[in-house]
Structure 1
Amino acid sequence: MENGKEQSAARKKSTILVGPWGGNGGNSWDDGIYHGVREITIVYDQCIDSIQVVYDKNGKPYHSRKPWRCLEAVEQL
């Protein structure tokens, strides 16, 4: 029985928060909890300027609310 309890405990999901990292200025953010990620768009030039994520929320796309600042180069992942 003890081994069964250990296996059950190992299957539990948990959330780990890390960061924030980076330079001085700006703000950290947390978009919340969703069912998955559909798309990530990164705006960059010499460094990453902004990131927008399209999440899956109950089977429908949900866009993160981060504003764009510049559009030198856009790469979609």
Structure 2
Amino acid sequence: MAKNELDLEAEQFLDRVSANVVKARKSKGFSQLQLATEMGYKSASYLGRIEIRSEGQHFHLVQLYKIAKILDISIEELVH
């Protein structure tokens, strides 16, 4: 597999994870601000930028762990 193809697949994976976080957050009735606050952030702007993958930002494992715990779902639901 060529490096560029692998990079593209990785970007698509990160896009899918962000979409899954948004879907899970909304299905559990959380606003960006509510989830961000539960995660320890003071505003929703950082979480919002990650959700839309602004400037290539993406969720990290600890963030996904916290999101799964807060939303009472499995991490697999976020990364699948």
TM range (shorter): under 0.3
Which has more strand, going by share of residues? 1
Which has more helix, going by share of residues? 2
Q: Over alpha carbons, which structure has the higher Rg?
A: 1
TM-score, normalising length: structure 2: 0.25
Comparing both chains, which one has the higher relative contact order based on Cα–Cα distances under 8 Å and sequence gaps of 6 or more?
Answer: 2
